[in-house]
A and B are shown apart, each in its own frame.
Chain A
Amino acid sequence: NAGVTQTPKFRILKIGQSMTLQCTQDMNHNYMYWYRQDPGMGLKLIYYSVGAGITDKGEVPNGYNVSRSTTEDFPLRLELAAPSQTSVYFCASSYPSGGELFFGEGSRLTVL
């Protein structure tokens, strides 16, 4: 059982470059989330989705975009990368109103 799979695990970007962080889950969860975690800090919600075709902004959406064309996939796109986007990105999924979030292993992004 793969759970939540994120790729890539590590990436270094130059300022102004763009990239997509991939996230896929095989648990048929409706809800999916993207969080970022800066060193020594808690998780901040970037975007979330309650089902295919539906997405909504979290606390810190600026500089990011998402799409949800299928139940399984929830990619996060970074446009015009900035040093402030250096962080660890976690994708997570859950059942509707279910308490437990299942997290991917994280994607460590550095923008230089």
Chain B
Amino acid sequence: RKEVEQDPGPFNVPEGATVAFNCTYSNSASQSFFWYRQDCRKEPKLLMSVYSSGNEDGRFTAQLNRASQYISLLIRDSKLSDSATYLCVVRDFGNEKLTFGTGTRLTIIP
């Protein structure tokens, strides 16, 4: 089983719709979780950290389910500019390394 798994998509979603991605991780000791966004042929950039209590940033909501070992990202009222690849990232306790999922590709359709 991969350390961090994501549905690669692609997700083709009409503008204004709500879309959700999940990411599963294999190490129950994983401590920190993040969503990064990567535009085509660009470097990844932090979208948001994922806290145990869940967190929201505008149209984006991230949640963590430790019992089932997954994190989720919900995008409401999707915009054309949301088209990108979304990378799930996990850091294990006491580990300087971050493990990236392969990414979920999202395309918002006008």
- Residues in chain A within 8 A of chain B (CB atoms): 31, 33, 35, 40-45, 48, 50, 58, 90, 96-97, 99-101, 103-106
Contacts and interface: CB of A to CB of B under 8 A. Distances in A.
- The SS class assigned to the B binding surface is strand
Contacts, number: 48
| A interface, over-half SS | loop
A101 B97 contact: no
Contacts of B43: 90, 103-106
B87 A42 contact: yes
Interface of B: 8, 32, 34, 36, 41-46, 49, 87, 89, 91, 96-103
Nearest to A50: B96
Given A31-B96, A48-B96, A105-B42, A99 B103 contact: no
Nearest to A108: B41
25 contacts: A33-B97, A35-B100, A41-B102, A42-B102, A42-B103, A43-B87, A44-B100, A45-B99, A58-B97, A90-B43, A90-B44, A96-B96, A97-B96, A99-B32, A99-B46, A100-B34, A101-B46, A101-B89, A101-B98, A103-B43, A103-B44, A104-B43, A105-B42, A106-B41, A106-B42
